[in-house]
A and B are shown apart, each in its own frame.
Chain A
């Protein structure tokens, strides 16, 4: 099968989308781009391939009428098995790196006790791994880094001081260890994990569907055997200049976002993308062609990192901010523009006894207000509107945006899709696919 890949190398996350020859999405992948752009784009694309493999599996199962309905049982199972295995594999690597870090000269004083403590913590993390990937589990994040960090920090806090090892020491070790874990990747290892997960899932299915398991195995094997032929890849995004692609395979993220949004919501005329380090307001015509755009970068105020920074200040995850802010009944006007000053203002206001949620609501409004001026600059919102980028996952940001759009432009259809973070990658993949068609 011919596939086309789009990679959006964002400042915060890297996204990959795989399309088939008819421009259907067959796989998506996302990862942190915090550490290394090249690695991040590889990981995102591998993830997308994993998903593509799963999609093929799903298609193969659905194609067999005797297996009707089985995909709804089998695929989640497969997915969980895979994720769990993957998580455990990463935990193993984390354990090694933690111990390596603990051998550093700075920690000599602790000698053995530090290693013991780490073993304890990692052991407990392994215990918890199963829970993260249970059938009904709600995962707070899809990134290993976040899941592992949450567990680790909690355990570190519980177990630190009593043993004379400070919490700061432990967090320092984690920060050091997580980088190499995130930065190493191996396609072969992933293939292996997929295989194992498939086998394990088949194994597990045996009990419930003994009779049809052979057909199922047949479908699964067929999906495994399918060769995914990468025809073309187009890269875009903040870090696109660093992609090891020839210039003609790199597109401006503005165009990619425009096209991606147009493909998802063909009636869209205005796109707002708030990513980690930049914000873009884009106007597109009825073919998805960008007619005007505005962007903001180089200053964290107004981008996703603003919220990320605030979340750090409050010891919360970014995903927790929105829901908390939604509880607010009256929002506070934030005076500081700068992210760091806003952080200080937040502390000051908290110490004056103002409510967390009200301040947070104010902070969300502040970031959306900045986006509103960008939107206004790009030409306003005349018609259907789409909100993309990581911040579109934040419910409070979405609410603030709705309110402000309503107040200033009247009611507008606003699209927000769960997949909107992939908008840029989708656009890039479409360029890859179109480019190939044109060449052919």
Chain B
């Protein structure tokens, strides 16, 4: 093999990176694919964008991740972007969100046959096969109700840090349903509940339940059966996962809801994995054309 890329495949190992540019955070993954022991994750990081210059955040995140992984920038065979990847100017290729989340999901939980990706603005459900092919999907579109931002807003109105949301919600005893579905107007509802003396835990659980209601609809719409993996930022919220398990059981949907500590990196992971696959395909092609 003589393709210009093949030198990066030294010793049968290949380094790839996945950069998932989200609306609220950049997720970066560095991956090693070795012929003998498969794929190994070398670095994972999340960088909140806040109100900073996006290009800079991406650049920094990437450098730091490579540093963490101890990989030199020019030994990366394929840097793949996903999400809002236009600003990743060092990328070699781009894969779209569902492609990468599906791939990442199968990598994290091989038996997953459906993915529920809940990010800051959207939620989407995908049905996939064991090869991580997307068979069908549904997503929320122009309304942020039930999105991560919705939850973030509620947490802000309640004065609760995002990281605490999950554990609080799990402590709820008598969850209180919100009536307003609007991510913004829910504020009134929430504040009303606070003043009626409803505990923060019960409010959060109520919010989780109303979100879950929408997600289950998405999952039902795609015909999800068995194993579902939650990916995206909200996978970190165990309260959501718990509410989801309860509701799914109640609705007798026969679903097993999974989360994975690396769920939030599913997109970035998928990008890195596809990068590795694509690199080999292209290298093979280059090889065959030269022969």
Q: Do chains A and B touch in the complex (CB under 8 A)?
A: yes
Which residues on the B side are within 8 Å of A205 (C-beta)?
none
- A299-B183 Cα distance, complex, nearest whole Å: 9
B-side contacts of A350, CB under 8 Å: 51
In the assembled complex, B150 has its CB within 8 A of some CB on chain A: yes
B191: which A residues are within 8 A, CB to CB?
A: 34-35, 179
B1 on the A face (CB < 8 A): no
- Total interface residues in chain B, CB < 8 Å: 28
A306 to B51, CA, bound (A): 20
Pick the interface stretch among B34-42, B141-149, B213-221, B265-273. B141-149
Number of A interface residues at 8 Å Cβ cutoff, please give it: 31
Q: Are A183 and B195 in contact (CB under 8 A)?
A: yes
Q: CB distance B182 to A298 under 8 Å?
A: yes
Q: Which of B143, B159, B191, B194 has the most CB of A within 10 A?
A: B159
Q: Which of B51, B161, B184, B188 contacts A309 (CB 8 A)?
A: B184
Q: How far is the CB of B167 from chain A (nearest CB, A)?
A: 12
A10 to chain B, nearest CB (A): 10
Find A305's partner among B51, B121, B142, B185 (CB 8 Å cutoff): B185
Pairwise interchain contact B144-A338, C-beta atoms closer than 8 A: yes
Contact with A along B179-192 (1 / 0, CB 8 A): 01111110110011
Chain A, residue nearest B57 (CB): A351
What is the CA–CA distance of A299 and B144 in the complex, to the nearest angstrom? 10
**Is A340 a contact partner of B144 (Cβ separation < 8 A)?**
yes
Would A300 and B54 count as touching, CB distance under 8 A?
Answer: no
The chain B residue with its CB closest to the CB of A176 is B159
- Which positions in B face A, CB cutoff 8 Å? 23, 51, 53-54, 120-121, 142-144, 147, 149-150, 153, 157, 159, 161, 180-185, 187-188, 191-192, 194-195
Task: Say whether A175 contacts B183, CB under 8 Å.
Answer: no
Q: Which residues of A contact B54 (CB under 8 A)?
A: 351
A129 to B97, CA, bound (A): 53
Q: Which of B121, B188, B194 contacts A341 (CB 8 A)?
A: B121
| Residue A57 at the chain B interface, CB threshold 8 Å | no
Docked pose: A305 CA to B157 CA in angstroms: 14
Shortest C-beta distance, A107 to chain B (Å), equals: 12
Complex Cα distance, B144 from A273, in Å, reads 25
Query: Which chain B residue shows the least CB distance to A277?
Result: B185
User: Which residues of the other chain, B, contact A298 by a CB distance below 8 angstroms?
Assistant: 180-182, 185
Judged by a CB distance under 8 angstroms, whether A226 is at the interface is no
Q: Does A355 lie at the interface of the complex (its beta carbon under 8 Å from any beta carbon of B)? A: no
A9-50 with Cβ < 8 A to chain B: 11, 34-37, 39
Cβ-closest chain A residue relative to B156: A175
Residue of A11, A35, A277, A341 near B144 (CB, 8 A) is A341
Q: Establish whether residues B121 and A344, one from each chain, have CB atoms under 8 Å apart when the complex forms.
A: yes
A347 at the interface (CB under 8 A from B): yes
- Would you mind naming 8 contact pairs between A and B with Cβ atoms under 8 Å apart? A35-B191, A36-B192, A175-B159, A300-B184, A337-B142, A340-B147, A343-B149, A350-B51
Q: Which A residues touch B121, using CB under 8 A?
A: 340-341, 344
Selected contact of A340 from candidates B157, B161, B184, B188, CB within 8 Å: B184
**Cα-based distance from A336 to B188 in the complex (angstroms):** 23
| CB–CB B185/A340 < 8 A | no
Distance A42 CA – B150 CA, assembled complex (angstroms): 31
CB-CB under 8 A for A299 and B194, given A277-B188, A339-B144: no
Residues A339-385 near B (CB distance < 8 A): 339-341, 343-344, 347, 350-351
Known interface pairs A336-B142, A337-B142, A351-B53; A179-B185 also in contact (CB < 8 Å): no
Question: Does A172 belong to the interface (CB within 8 Å)?
Answer: yes
Are B184 and A341 in contact, with the CB atoms below 8 A? no
Task: Please give, as numbers and ranges, the residues of chain B lying within 8 Å of A277 by CB-CB distance.
Answer: 185, 188
User: Shortest CB–CB separation between residue B176 and chain A, in angstroms?
Assistant: 16
Q: Contact: B195 with A35, CB < 8 Å? A: yes
Find B195's partner among A179, A306, A344 (CB 8 Å cutoff).
Answer: A179
Contact of A168 with B by CB under 8 A: yes
Q: Which residues does chain A contribute within 8 Å of B153, judged by CB atoms?
A: 340
Q: Which residues of B contact A172 (CB under 8 A)?
A: 159, 161
Shortest Cβ distance from residue A104 to the other chain B in the assembled complex, whole angstroms: 10
Chain A contacts for B161, CB-based, 8 A: 168, 172
Give Cα A336–Cα B122 distance, bound, in whole angstroms: 14
Task: Please give, as numbers and ranges, the residues of chain B lying within 8 Å of A39 by CB-CB distance.
Answer: 195
Known: A277-B188, A340-B147, A340-B149. A36 touches B195 (CB 8 A): yes
Known A340-B121, A344-B23; further 16 A-B contacts with Cβ < 8 A: A11-B185, A34-B188, A34-B191, A35-B195, A39-B195, A175-B159, A277-B185, A298-B182, A298-B185, A300-B182, A300-B183, A300-B185, A305-B187, A339-B184, A343-B149, A344-B149
Closest residue of chain B to A299, judged by CB? B182
Rounded to whole angstroms, the CA-CA distance of A35 and B51 in the bound complex is: 30
Residue of B nearest to A40 (CB): B195
Cα distance A340–B180 in the bound complex, in angstroms: 15
Closest B residue to A308 by beta carbon equals B184
B127, chain A: closest CB distance, angstroms: 26
CB distance from B252 to the nearest CB of A (A): 31
